Structure 1
């Protein structure tokens, strides 16, 4: 099969006229999937990303009328900073998603005060074993360098982070471009999700995505999409 055909199978492209329309569509899709999971197994597990991109999506999702008291929300990745830090993904989620109807959800953070990022990752790994895996929904973002989750191109353990057979749930990340140590779900746990979406916005992110999916060295976002057992859904708006 030609390389172009393989790339086409790696994802489905969903394009919207504006970011409000994207937020409405993605929140509706995610809410329906969570409600279906609650009906099927009595609970639902959602992992979301941080950054500035998902704020509108979080606000829309927070108003969806589903059984949020049966939904568990965790993070795809987190900086090694407390929730009070402006760089905390947990803080972003608390301020934008865990509001309105979604205030009833249970939130499981990745950051815990610890002597090192390695200690924090080991503690997370044990604590998160109790969650109802696999993920029902994983919402990824993407940086201009082609990273997703905290799978940075210059991470010193990138092959371990991307290992689709890894037994780990949470792993520590050291990368100069990350700015500070990170905690991330392993690619193995993300790839097990029933639904994986990549939420990107703006012309620069689209260009970065197109570059990552083109020829040349494989960037982390491409590695994740290529390894996904079912095509991921890309949600983009200008």
Structure 2
């Protein structure tokens, strides 16, 4: 990676305002450069404030913006655990191009779900203009977890952009298989952001960054493969 820059905030709201502003700048530059913007964005609860701030911007032509979840759970698209459902709730009315990683015909087969997602993503222009990453307290990012599919998600062919995964152990809050963007897809993005909050996640991320490519934590392995500069946004709350 070229360099890492930390941005620190006292509150989640202050952080969301800054992150939304920077994402808006990425979109603006992408529209000027090639007429469209392609962004991979995280699920979970942390991005909600960011998405709300983005919707306040009147200068974004969302019809020219493609949004892809960095990962999703193998559940129906209208399920409460679906990251696609979250994105549709925020940006569907704006007519953004929302790309689902989940094909409802393959909910019982993670490998097939991954193949179908990879085929769908192959129809887009790459690389991404932005990969915005969250991180769990265990060091996972997107749905790159420890488990039998970890090596494929980290070290698989660079042409492979999505993969079906079965975390081991399963996360308690959502114990279902996933589809995730691969480390190769995320690390090729023109711009990379990591958004986290709380002292514990900061400690985990700092450890992963220190360990680099030898890290046992998924975020450490993903970050070590990134060529672009990385902005890390952290809030105390």
Map 1:15-26 → 2, pairs under 5 A: 15-26=8-19
Q: Deviations over 1:127-185 (max 9, x none)?
A: 21111211001111101111111111x22121210127522111011112342110011
Using structure 2 for the length normalisation, give the TM-score: 0.89
**1:204 Cα deviation after fit:** 2.4
> Which residue is equivalent to 1:231?
229
- For the 8 Å contact 2:155–2:183, the answer to whether it is kept is yes
**1:31 Cα deviation after fit:** 0.8
> Which residue is equivalent to 1:3?
none
Q: Quick check: 1:182 aligned with 2:182?
A: no
Unaligned runs of 5+ in 2: none
Q: Quick check: 1:79 aligned with 2:70?
A: no
Distance 1:15 1:195 in 2: 19
- For the 8 Å contact 2:209–2:223, the answer to whether it is kept is no
4+ residue runs over 6 A deviation: none
Q: Quick check: 1:122 aligned with 2:115?
A: yes
Q: CA 1:164–1:229 in structure 2 vs 1: closer, same or farther (change >3 Å)?
A: farther
Q: Deviations over 1:23-76 (max 9, x none)?
A: 111111111111111111111101111011110001111222212111111111
Q: Quick check: 1:211 aligned with 2:207?
A: yes
> Which residue is equivalent to 2:100?
109
Q: CA 1:39–1:181 in structure 2 vs 1: closer, same or farther (change >3 Å)?
A: same
Distance 2:111 2:156 in 1: 20
- For the 8 Å contact 1:77–1:150, the answer to whether it is kept is yes
**1:77 Cα deviation after fit:** 0.4
